[in-house]
Structure 1
Amino acid sequence: MPFIDVTIAQGRTPEQIRALMHELTEAAHRAIGAPIPNIRVVVREVPTTHWAAGDVTIAERQAAESA
């Protein structure tokens, strides 16, 4: 039973998240032939203030780009 765990920054619409879950399910089905009812997908959203790369949070990077 494939278990796909995705972490993304907050800010997507429910429709975008649902589309992501659908596409990941389809990809796992195509790639390894797993039956669709056996595929699990979890999407975790993290606040942009809680995710950093190179000691700069996504929120800080977005603020700098807007300035």
Structure 2
Amino acid sequence: MPHITVQHLAGRSTEQKRELAREITDAYVRVTGIKPESVWVTFQDVPAEDWAVGGTPIADR
């Protein structure tokens, strides 16, 4: 059973996460042929102050 973790900046709506979970699952099923019920997707919402790019926290940009 695959478990796909999506880390992204906090702020996505429940509907956006629903759609992402559906699309990610559909893609995995299409490529691997497994049943959708076997695909687990979790979201980790990371606050902007806890994520840095190029040495600079995103919250500081």
Corresponding position of 2:47: 47
Query: Where do residues 1-67 of structure 1 align in structure 2 (5 Å cutoff)?
Result: 1-61=1-61
**Residue 20 (structure 1) shift:** 0.6
TM-score (norm 2): 0.92
Greater percentage in helix:
1
Aligned partners of 2:12, 2:6: CA distance in 1, in Å?
A: 13
* SS of residue matched to 1:34: coil
Aligned residues: 61
Aligned partners of 1:43, 1:12: CA distance in 2, in Å?
A: 10
TM-score (norm 1): 0.84
Q: Unaligned stretches of 5+ in structure 1?
A: 62-67
Aligned partners of 1:5, 1:16: CA distance in 2, in Å?
A: 15
Q: Unaligned stretches of 5+ in structure 2?
A: none
**Residue 54 (structure 1) shift:** 1.1
**Residue 59 (structure 1) shift:** 1.3
Quick one: which amino acid aligns to residue 17 of structure 1? Answer: K
Larger Rg: 1
* SS of residue matched to 1:17: helix
Percent of paired sites with the same residue: 39
